[in-house]
Structure 1
């Protein structure tokens, strides 16, 4: 290497600006270039000249430091083809560029060739088909172009082929997967630009265990011959343009562990036969055009760890049998047409880490102890019609980092585990409510996001955020103080007759169900000395605060006036008759 450098240094002396081409140099060569720089500069005025970029801090690798006048050739030399006795060539995760030399086909003893994770370009040389002893071929994560050479079908000993993450295009030639490739077990062609129908010959490889053709542009349907792959354990065809139906005969591939067909154009219903797969662990069918309901047999697939059916038109109710899926870790059923309630038995999924039931038509309550699943880290239930309150045992979800419950009909108080609220007085005498966020709750990590949203919302009927406190250990919001507590406290802890409680309840029902489509929580905070009044039959039944409790009296007036605050501090001011 050093004699090459010396020769090129002579060239540099003749024409410094013209540029220098050297092979990848070790650190000692960088020092040699700096030594040349010191000898070539005869006066201080030249230090800011063409060699200014040559400096000690980047001397370890001048090729990547963009030293002016220096370019580096990282291509694989054609002399590699002279290594006729070489059995393993592992050159992955380097910076080799340029084309794969055709001479590599002369390395007839090669059993493993790994050129992955480089910057190689050009086409895959057809001479690779001469490597009759080749068992492992890794070319993934490069910039290779063109198609798969048909000559690869001659590599009858090949066991693993990985061409993923390249720029390969076109239809896969049937000859590339010849029937003589009886030893081929793993095929990875993901993240390319292949098109056309799935190659029929690939489904006649008797030893095939892994087939990953995801993230391409394949069209057509899955052929029935796939059931010939009795050893297949992983089928990944997601993110293509495949259509027709999800084949029922996939249930005949008894060793299947993973089926990923997401982001295609499959229609029809989910085949119940998939539930027969005893070792089934992952089923991903999201973003298709599937209809119907989730087959009961799928719920009986007790080995399933991931079930992903989101963004389909699947409806129906969630079955209580879901509790038998005791190995389930991730359940994604968002943006579907699910109805009914969330089955309470879902709490038995002790291994559940992520649950997404958002954007459905689910009703009812969030089941008790639903949030105390020991492994649950993400819970998405937003955009449904869930009612009642948030379970108070949210504090038991010690691993929960994401909780989305917005766009529902939830009411009641936010559990104290999320944070405690204290009364406070500012320096000007203003009484405030200080909500201190629990450091162990998800709200602690989302504090800045929530503060940003609250800061943008301005409305006369919303309690104002007066300030906040935030550091790495403590976070708190400062709100207006709702001094007189909640309606729930007044009804349940004060001496109010049953008749008056029912009258108040009727007014609240009216608000919930009849008044201009507006929603109001059944738990209300009463601000100052405003009165809650409801008129029926010309007799106004009015309730006011007296000595800290609600007290009723009669009067004769035809209108009802309200000024109340919800648990989210929403102030309502309007008139109605009830």
Structure 2
């Protein structure tokens, strides 16, 4: 039997954060050629307890350039500046340690670095010198204590395609972030963001935007310019109003999560012709927008139809019959 919140469709599973694109190396030695015949250093899962500095220095003088280094889960509190000697690195992962800072000197010569991961540490800031890594395409800083991103950090990271700064303490975003026009995935959930800049319109390649669990009260209408967006999650905010045309050009959007906000009404959804999943439960919605009846590809709709729901139109007894009944009723009233 469907619960009240599932009366118009069962919610889909949550969107999992994508895994890192490169496999972790597992070997008994420190040097290995297991990744596309390129040399990497495997010091993950406790192996950095060895003489890390000497291992790095030896690797820096190796005939074959070191392109991958893995330092996850080592209880590291500091990173040795000698990491900067590995100037052929394309992939560095220092996640799941106890780092409270990143020495800026490390990044000054890492011009080929494409992936940097430092999630699940204790970082409060990110050095501006990371901007020297101009080939960077993925930056993963999930689950730290970062309260501010350097204003000029992103002005040179114009190849960035994925940024994950979820589960931090951010209240604002630097203006230069919106220069990263190649961004495809932007994870900002579980911060303290109070507003989103209209400059979001510049990120027209975005496919996945997660703003859930912040302190947003609305979205700028410029969000509607993200015509390539597939997933938009703004659940768990304080949104009480959305511009009527906020979704005007989102013809590709497939997943929209608005639940756990303060919306009493929804804006027009008529342009969301690709939408298959819509979550609007845990909002004080009184009337469903007639445009919801036009969404031919919609498969999942979640909304409140219990006794505490404020929904008046369509009547709750219609809504309890499911999505098709809701859409038929809305179309008949147009």
Residue in 2 that maps onto 1:124 = 28
The answer to whether the Cα contact below 8 Å between 1:377 and 1:399 also exists between their aligned partners in 2 is yes
Residue in 2 that maps onto 1:279 = 159
User: Cα deviations across residues 230-272 of structure 1 (Å, max 9, x unaligned)?
Assistant: 2212111213x23231212222322222211111233x31212
The answer to whether the Cα contact below 8 Å between 1:336 and 1:360 also exists between their aligned partners in 2 is yes
User: Cα deviations across residues 190-209 of structure 1 (Å, max 9, x unaligned)?
Assistant: 7x532223343222211112
The answer to whether the Cα contact below 8 Å between 1:170 and 1:193 also exists between their aligned partners in 2 is no
Q: TM-score, normalised by structure 2?
A: 0.73
SS at match of 2:232: strand
Structure 1: how far apart are the matches of 2:167 and 2:249? 30
Q: Does 1:404 align with 2:279?
A: yes
Aligned pairs (5 A) from 1:168-567: 168-169=46-47, 171=49, 173-178=52-57, 179-181=60-62, 183-189=64-70, 193-196=73-76, 197-214=78-95, 216-228=96-108, 229-239=110-120, 241-266=121-146, 268-276=147-155, 277-290=157-170, 292-315=171-194, 317-339=195-217, 341-368=218-245, 370=247, 373-393=250-270, 396-415=271-290, 417-418=292-293, 440-443=297-300, 457=306, 463=316, 476=325
Structure 2: how far apart are the matches of 1:213 and 1:251? 18
Unaligned runs of 5+ in 1: 1-115, 139-157, 420-437, 490-578
Please list every run of at least 4 consecutive aligned residues from structure 1 whose deviation after the TM superposition is greater than 6 angstroms: 458-462
Q: 1:376 to 1:188 in 2, by over 3 A?
A: farther
The count of residues paired between Structure 1 and Structure 2 equals 298
- Post-superposition shift, 1:183? 4.2
- Post-superposition shift, 1:349? 0.9
User: Cα deviations across residues 388-426 of structure 1 (Å, max 9, x unaligned)?
Assistant: 334151xx423323212233344323436448xxxxxxx
Unaligned runs of 5+ in 2: 1-22
- Post-superposition shift, 1:323? 0.9
Structure 1: how far apart are the matches of 2:287 and 2:309? 22
Q: Which residue of 21, 40, 50 maps to 1:161?
A: 40
Aligned pairs (5 A) from 1:16-165: 124=28, 136-137=33-34, 159-161=38-40, 163=42
The answer to whether the Cα contact below 8 Å between 1:325 and 1:349 also exists between their aligned partners in 2 is yes
Instruction: Output the aligned Cα RMSD.
Output: 3.9
Q: Which has the higher contact order (CA 8 A, sep 6+)?
A: 2
Higher helix share: 1
The answer to whether the Cα contact below 8 Å between 2:244 and 2:267 also exists between their aligned partners in 1 is no
Higher strand share: 1
Larger CA Rg, structure 1 vs 2: 1
The answer to whether the Cα contact below 8 Å between 1:182 and 1:207 also exists between their aligned partners in 2 is no
- Post-superposition shift, 1:167? 4.9
Greater Cα offset, 268-277 or 401-410: 401-410
SS at match of 1:243: coil
SS at match of 1:175: helix
